[in-house]
Amino acid sequence: MNKSDLAKAVAEKTGLSRAQAGEAVDSAIEAIVGSVKGNDSVQIAGFGTFYAKHREAREVRNPRTGETMMSKARTQAAFRPAAALKDI
């Protein structure tokens, strides 16, 4: 399922037009991305939690040359599914 399929399913379920459902899906995704960028978590009951995960700098190895170097510390988006989602 891609984003347009999701918008179509939302339109069928809610009675909105496909354009309105597409805007709703886009708005929800923008809200989630904005919150995670701000280091806030987004918890959706029965679905899961989107959150920002910090990764420390670490030593990595170039597989071609065998040279070791340090990777940069970074923050990445992560998702933890709810127990109800794990069970299916």
CA distance 3 to 9: 10
The side-by-side arrangement of strands in the sheet containing 48-55 is 42-44, 48-55, 74-81
Q: What is the pLDDT of residue 53?
A: 95
Tell me the CATH number at 49: 4.10.520.10
For the chain, what is the domain count? 1
Q: What is the pLDDT of residue 88?
A: 85
Tell if the pTM clears 0.75, that is, is over it.
yes
Give ∠ CA 86-7-84 in degrees, rounded to 5.
Answer: 15
Give me the tens of pLDDT residue by residue for the chain, a chain 88 residues long: 999 999 999 999 999 999 999 999 999 999 999 999 999 999 999 999 999 999 999 999 999 999 999 999 999 999 999 998 988 8
Domain that holds residue 53: 3-87
Decide: 85 and 48 in contact? Cβ < 8 Å.
yes
Q: What is the pLDDT of residue 63?
A: 93
- Look up residue 43 and give its two tokens: 């918890």
What's the length of the chain? 88
